[in-house]
Amino acid sequence: MLELFRNGGPVMYPLLACSILVLTVIIERIIFWIQQDIRRDNKLLDEVLEICRQGEWTLVREKVKGSRDYVIRVLITGIVHRDFSLVKAMEAAAVDEIKRMRRGMTILDTMITVAPLLGIFGTVIGIIMSFDMLGASGIERPQAVTAGIAQALITTASGLGIAILSVFPYNYFNSRIENAAHLMEQYATSLEIVYEKLLNQESGK
């Protein structure tokens, strides 16, 4: 691997930086989503909605105290601001949660594009070097030309490899974000229906 890196030429250094950056983001996001899965509490969510149906708003806040479930955080934000705008408060909280979930995704997206371009850039440099050596030494020294061609192939392969290995986690993390957004929307809609029903009952008395 070290020999391949050396033969790849100067473009291998930015490609190495890209690979380290991609690996760092992937590891950080994996840890993040594992933590979110651990903090999820569907049973508590159902209990929260049931308590909301009874209009026990103070009890809800006591019940979820210490919970780090992102869906519960969205619902509690709406409950706290229900006298002003329950829906808008939950929307703002959901946006903050999604923004937190999307951290690092721009880096992965950029690397998927930049890494192959760097590889192509290395290819162009390698071919230029090959032609320069061919012009200087002629066909008597073909081994001087192969060094530039090897550099071109190594950088292209490295750039494509980084991009390919970035696509899978990028799509996976995006699917997790979409599922989380759908879950927040589902429970927020349920809370909104419960709250409107309570308001209608109170106005009917």
| End-to-end C-alpha distance for the chain, whole angstroms | 77
Residue listed under structure tokens 């308001």: 199
Burial tier of 139 (Cβ tally within 10 Å: 0-12, 13-18, 19+): exposed
Convert the pLDDT of each residue in 135-192 to its tens digit. Answer: 665 556 666 566 667 677 888 899 999 999 999 999 999 999 999 999 999 999 999 9
Q: How many distinct helices (H) and strands (E) make up the chain?
A: 8, 0
Q: What is the mean pLDDT of residues 34-48?
A: 92
Enclosing H/E stretch for 161: helix 142-204
Distance, CA of 195 to CA of 48 (rounded, Å): 12
Q: State both tokens at 113.
A: 């594009």
3-state secondary structure of 169: helix
Is pLDDT of 205 > 60? no
Distance, CA of 28 to CA of 5 (rounded, Å): 26
Distance, CA of 198 to CA of 5 (rounded, Å): 67
Q: What is the pLDDT of residue 139?
A: 57
Q: State both tokens at 25.
A: 């983001």
204 band by pLDDT with thresholds 50, 70 and 90: low
Is pLDDT of 76 > 60? yes
3-state secondary structure of 41: coil
Q: Do 156 and 127 form a contact (C-beta atoms < 8 A)?
A: no
**Which of 31-40, 97-106, 163-172, 193-202 is the least confident region?**
193-202
